[in-house]
Amino acid sequence: MSILTENNVIMNAAAKDKFEAITIAGRILVEAGHVTEEYVSKMLEREEVVSTYMGGGLAIPHGTKDGKQYIRSTGLSIVRFPEGVDFGGDEPAFVVIGIAAAGNDHMEILTNVAMIFTEDDAIEKVMNAATPAELIAIFEGGL
């Protein structure tokens, strides 16, 4: 099973708040079989403790440490929010990447995703991708 497929991408979503945005990203992981329903609750729980907003228009929600038991396989979801979602940062999140990492994959995946977004035009590339395949291609080099 691939960690990122076209089925794990939503190109244009809208959410009233960060909790709805996280739920959307988490549902993709559930539907792809990477996690159970309980993992989404653990993603929301983490957000209540510490924001997963990384800056630069990017949020990377993931479950709490005790949420690992609900992960079946490593997977990512990518959701674009053209109107942005307030995550409590200096600017809205336009890209929300849900992460479920089995075993010890967590830090490596977080680091790789963050490194992709260190490029000055990364968020622009992601927002301008015309298809899910184009969007995935941006990530394939770094994952």
pLDDT digits (tens, 9 = 90+) for 22-70: 999 999 999 999 999 999 999 999 999 999 999 889 999 999 999 999 9
Reply yes or no on whether 34 is catalytic: no
- Look-up of token digits 């792809």: 32
Architecture of domain 6-140: 3-Layer(aba) Sandwich (3.40)
pLDDT digits (tens, 9 = 90+) for 61-107: 999 999 999 999 999 999 999 999 999 988 999 999 999 998 877 77
Catalytic residue among 62, 70, 97, 117: 62
Written as one letter, the residue type at 11 is M
Name the residue ranges covered by the structural domains of the chain: 6-140
Q: Answer for the pair 57, 123: CB distance below 8 angstroms, yes or no.
A: yes
pTM of the predicted model as reported, rounded to 2 decimal places: 0.92
Taking residue 82's Cβ as centre, other Cβ atoms within 10 Å add up to 10
